[in-house]
Structure 1
Amino acid sequence: MISQVIFFCLLFGALAFFTINARRIYRNIRLGKSDDRSGDTKARVKTMLLVAFGQKKMFKKPLPAVLHLFVYVGFCIINIEMLEIVIDGLFGTHRALSFMGSFYDFLIYAFELLAFAVLVSCLIFFIRRNALQIYRFKGRELKGWPKSDANLILLTEIILMAAFLIMNAADYKLQTQGFSHYHLAGSFPISSYLAGILPDNSNSLIAIERAAWWLHIIGVLAFLNYLPLSKHLHIILAFPNTYFSNLKPKGKFENMPAVTAEVQVMLDPSLPPPSGEVGRFGVKDIQDLTWKNLLDAYTCTECGRCSAACPANITGKLLSPRKIMMDTRDRLEEVGKQIDKNKAFEEDGKSLIDDYIKREEIWACTSCNACVEQCPVNINPLEIIMGLRQYAVMEESQAPSSVNAMFNNLENNGAPWKYAQADRANWTNS
C-alpha cells in the first residue's frame, strides 16, 4: 500500500508540474501577434500526417532518418506500456493487461524489439554527435548547454530502454522459477538472453525487477517534465506546428498591410485614408512576431539541417538559421520569466535585434528559403529574418551601404541598377 501511495504522489505531481509548464509555454506563444492559419483543413491534416507523423522530410538523409524512425516509433509505442505500469502502480497488480493472452505476448515481443532498436539508435546518435566531425553538429550556438541537453536526452533514452529490458529479464526469470505474483505472461526475445547474467536468487531478482520498474517509471515522468525545458519539446509541438504550416508558395513574401494601404491611397486619392496607427514596422522584439513564429521557436529541434543547407553559413558568414530560432526562443523565455515575476512585461532595455540577433546575421541571408525547405518540421526562420530587416530599414533607416545604394537606384531609376531607364537596353547593341 505504501508503494501505491508513493506512486500516486509521483504520478499526480509529475502531471501537475507538466500542466503548469505547458500552460506557461502556451501563454508565451500567445504573446505573438495574430496570424490567421485557419482554412484548408484537408491540406493541413495531410501536411501534418506526411511531415510530422510520416517524417517525410527526414528522409532527405536516409541513415539518420531510419535511426530517428526507430527512436520515434519505438519510444511512442513502448510508452503504450505506460498504461499497464500506471495500472500496476495504482492498484498493486502485476502485468495487469496480461489477460489479453496471445495478443499481450505479441505486444511485449514487439516492445522488446523496438526497445532494443531505440537503444542501439541512441548509441549511434551519441557517437555521431560527439565523435564524428559532422558539420551541422559543430555550430557555435551548440556549445555549452545545447550540446549537453542533446546528450542528456540520448543518455536518458538509453537508460530508460536498458531499465525496461532489465526489468523484463528479471521478470522473465522469476516467471520461469514459478515465483508467486510473477505469473507467466509476455514473450521476451531480448531480455530472455539478458536473464542469463542475472543472479538466480529470487530475492535478488525481485530487488532488480522492482528497481528497474521504479527507474523506468520515474525516468519517464522526469523525461515528461524535462521536455518543456529542452529542445525535445518538438516531440509534442511538431504536430501543431506542421498543421499550421504556411501553405502558400515558399517564395511568396507578404506585404505589410499598413504599407499596402498607404500605397493604395497614394495611387488612388479617392480611397479613404487608413484608419488606426501602426504600432511598429517590422520586428524589434518577440511581441512583434506572430504566434506561429513563436511556436516555430519552441518547436525547433536544433538538428542543424537548416544551417547545413544555408549558403551564407556554408561560406563562413555569421548567419545560422538554427541560431535565429534558438535566440528567439531564449528571448521569449526571458520575457516569459519576467511576466511570471512582475505579472506583466516591463521594458528591460533589451530586444531580439542587437541583444540576441546581430545585424550582420540578418543581412547575410540571401532569402533563398533553403532553411525552410530543409526543416523537418516546417519551421520558417526566414520570416523572422525579414521582419528584423524591415524594422532596421523602416524604423531606423539602417541598412548596409549596398542595400542603400539599391534603394536609391529603385527610387531614381525604377530598378535596382544604377543605369537610367533609357540606357537599360544598351547591352543589346554590343
Structure 2
Amino acid sequence: MQLLSSILFLILLGIGFGFFIKNARKIYRNINLGRDINRSDRSSERWKNMAMVALGQSKMVKRPIAAVLHIFVYVGFVIINIEMLEIIIDGIFGTHRVLSFMGPVYDVLIGVFEVLAFLVIFAVVIFWIRRNILKLKRLNQKELDGWPKKDANTIIYFEAILMVFFLVMNAADYYLQTINYTHFAQVGSFPVSQYISLIFNGMNPEVVFYVERACWWLHIIGVMCFMNYLYYSKHLHIILAFPNTYYANLDELGKFDNLEAVTNEVKLMMDPNADPFAAPAPDAAEAPSKFGASDVQDLNWVQLLNAYSCTECGRCTASCPANITGKKLSPRLIMMKTRDRLEEVGRNIDANKGTFVEDGKSLLNDYITPEELWACTTCNACVEECPISISPLSIIMDMRRYLVMEQSAAPMELNTMMTNVENNGAPWQYNQMDRLNWKDEN
C-alpha cells in the first residue's frame, strides 16, 4: 500500500512539475520574441533594487493597509512552502514528519507556519471583501470585467483553501498525537490547529486518520494546481517580480532613449562643414528596420517581461492624470493588452510548428488605439506607482514613435509644433526675429 502511495506521489510530482516547466518554457520563448536590450550594467544597483522592491516590498508601503495584508500573504506563502520539502520527502519515502528530528527548531517552525497560515486566511478574506463587497474603484473598473475579476477571486479562493487544508491536516495530526494513535509521535507546535482539533473529539480515530491523509493529499494536489494555474493568471508576478525588478530601467524618470542613428543624422544636418555624401563611420549605428513599435515583436524583451509581470493592481491607472480626467488611457490596460497580444502570438507559433504566420493583426489598432497613446502626458506617475517597477510609459512611447516616424500619424497639434520647430527654431508660429518683441510692449 505504501509503495503504491509513493508511486502515485511521484506521478503527481512528475505531472505537476512537467506541465509547469512546459509552460515556463513558453513564457521564456514569448519574452524572447522581443528586441534585444542590454540590461547587464550596474549589477550592484540591480541586486539592490530587486532586494528592496521585490523582496522588501518597499513600494507597497505607500498604501499601508494593503501593504500589511500583502506581506501576510507574501511571507506566509514563501515560508509555509518550506514545509513542501518535508511533504515531498514524506511522500516519496513513506515517512511522517521526517524533519521532526530537528526537535525544538521543528516545533518553532510548525508554530510559525500555523500563525502565518492564519494570517494568510485573514488577509485574503479582507482582500475578497475589498474587491467584492466594498468594491474599491481601482479593483472594479470595466477593464477588469470577465476573466480578470474571476482570476483575482480564484487566486483568493486558492490561497484560502490551501491554508485551510494545511491547518485541518495539522489539527487531525495533533489530535492523533494526543491519543497516541499508531505512528503519530508527539512532535511540533500547533498554536492554531490545536483549537481546530476540538472538532475531532469523540470521533473515530480511524476517521480522523483518513481526514489527515485526505488533507495531506489535497494540500499537495492544490499546490501543484496552484503552481500550474499561475501560467494562466496575473499572479505570475509571484515569480517574475524578481527578474522584472532586476532588469528594470535604473535611469532617472523622464529620461528617454534616443535612437543613435537618428541623432547622428540630426548632427550631420546641423554641421555646416559636414559632407552629406561621406561614407558613414565604421562604428556608426545603423538605422533600425522599423522605427518604434507596432506589434509585440517590436518591443524589447524587458517590456514583454513587464507585461507578464503585471498583477493588474491598478495603482498605475489610479494615479494616471489622463485616466482621472476621463481620457481613454489606462496604463494597466496597456499592460494587459500587451500580454494578451503576446499570448496570441505565442499560440500562433505553437499552431504553426514554431513559426509565426502573419495573422493580419497587431498590437497597434487591434489592441491599443492611437487615442489611448496620445492621451498620455508622459508624467511617469504610472512608473513611479508600480510596486514592481513596470513601465507602461516605455511601451506607449515606442508605439508613439512608430506612429510619428513610420506613419506620420501624429496629432495635428504635434505636427504644427514640429513644423514650427523646423521652420522657426521654436514651437511658436512666428519668426525668430520677432521673439523678443514682447519686451517692447512695456
Same-fold status (TM-score > 0.5): yes
Work out whether residues 160 and 219 of structure 1, in 8 Å CA contact, stay in contact via their aligned partners in 2.
yes
Tell me, in whole angstroms, the C-alpha distance in 1 between the residues paired with 2:102 and 2:403: 64
Work out whether residues 312 and 364 of structure 1, in 8 Å CA contact, stay in contact via their aligned partners in 2.
yes
Work out whether residues 262 and 287 of structure 2, in 8 Å CA contact, stay in contact via their aligned partners in 1.
no
Partner of 2:112: 110
Work out whether residues 305 and 375 of structure 1, in 8 Å CA contact, stay in contact via their aligned partners in 2.
yes
Partner of 1:175: 177
| CA RMSD of superposed structures (Å) | 1.3
Partner of 2:46: 44
Q: CA deviation at 1:424?
A: 3.0
Q: Which moved more, 1:1-10 or 1:126-135?
A: 126-135
Tell me, in whole angstroms, the C-alpha distance in 1 between the residues paired with 2:40 and 2:302: 12
Tell me, in whole angstroms, the C-alpha distance in 2 between the residues paired with 1:88 and 1:131: 41
Partner of 2:80: 78
Partner of 2:296: 286
Q: CA deviation at 1:276?
A: 4.9
1:21 aligns with 2:23: yes
* 1:255 match: secondary structure: coil
Tell me, in whole angstroms, the C-alpha distance in 1 between the residues paired with 2:436 and 2:242: 52
The number of equivalent residue pairs is 430
Tell me, in whole angstroms, the C-alpha distance in 2 between the residues paired with 1:424 and 1:209: 84
Tell me, in whole angstroms, the C-alpha distance in 2 between the residues paired with 1:219 and 1:425: 73
**Letter of the 1:348 counterpart:** D
Tell me, in whole angstroms, the C-alpha distance in 2 between the residues paired with 1:141 and 1:198: 46
Partner of 2:321: 311
Tell me, in whole angstroms, the C-alpha distance in 2 between the residues paired with 1:57 and 1:225: 28
Cα deviation 1:311-359 (Å, max 9, x = unaligned): 0011111000000001001111111111111121111110100000011
Partner of 1:264: 267
Structure 1 residues 276 and 249: alpha-carbon distance in aligned structure 2, compared to 1, 3 A threshold: closer
Tell me, in whole angstroms, the C-alpha distance in 2 between the residues paired with 1:363 and 1:275: 29
Q: CA deviation at 1:275?
A: 6.8
Match for residue 129 of structure 2 among 115, 127, 132: 127
Partner of 2:193: 191
Tell me, in whole angstroms, the C-alpha distance in 1 between the residues paired with 2:279 and 2:305: 36
Q: CA deviation at 1:421?
A: 2.4
Tell me, in whole angstroms, the C-alpha distance in 2 between the residues paired with 1:224 and 1:92: 24
Partner of 1:406: 417
Structure 1 residues 6 and 318: alpha-carbon distance in aligned structure 2, compared to 1, 3 A threshold: same
Structure 1 residues 275 and 35: alpha-carbon distance in aligned structure 2, compared to 1, 3 A threshold: closer
Q: CA deviation at 1:129?
A: 1.1
Q: CA deviation at 1:258?
A: 2.4
TM-score where L is the length of structure 2:
0.95
Tell me, in whole angstroms, the C-alpha distance in 2 between the residues paired with 1:177 and 1:426: 97
Work out whether residues 21 and 228 of structure 1, in 8 Å CA contact, stay in contact via their aligned partners in 2.
yes
Work out whether residues 285 and 351 of structure 1, in 8 Å CA contact, stay in contact via their aligned partners in 2.
yes
**Residues 384-395 of structure 1 mapped to structure 2, 5 A cutoff:** 384-395=395-406
Tell me, in whole angstroms, the C-alpha distance in 1 between the residues paired with 2:428 and 2:65: 46
Q: CA deviation at 1:256?
A: 1.4
1:423 aligns with 2:434: yes
Structure 1: any 5+ residue segments left out of the alignment?
none
Partner of 2:255: 252
Partner of 2:157: 155
TM-score where L is the length of structure 1:
0.97
Cα deviation 1:357-406 (Å, max 9, x = unaligned): 01110000000000000000000010100111111111111122222221
Match for residue 355 of structure 1 among 366, 369, 382: 366
* 2:59 match: secondary structure: helix
1:63 aligns with 2:74: no
* 1:99 match: secondary structure: helix
* 2:264 match: secondary structure: helix
Q: CA deviation at 1:107?
A: 0.3
Query: Identity over the aligned pairs, expressed in percent?
Result: 60
Structure 2: any 5+ residue segments left out of the alignment?
none
Tell me, in whole angstroms, the C-alpha distance in 2 between the residues paired with 1:44 and 1:30: 20
**Letter of the 2:264 counterpart:** A
Cα deviation 1:237-267 (Å, max 9, x = unaligned): 1001101111111111111122123223333
Q: CA deviation at 1:277?
A: 5.1
Structure 1 residues 31 and 321: alpha-carbon distance in aligned structure 2, compared to 1, 3 A threshold: same
Partner of 1:231: 234
Work out whether residues 318 and 361 of structure 1, in 8 Å CA contact, stay in contact via their aligned partners in 2.
yes
Cα deviation 1:213-258 (Å, max 9, x = unaligned): 1111000011111111111000111001101111111111111122
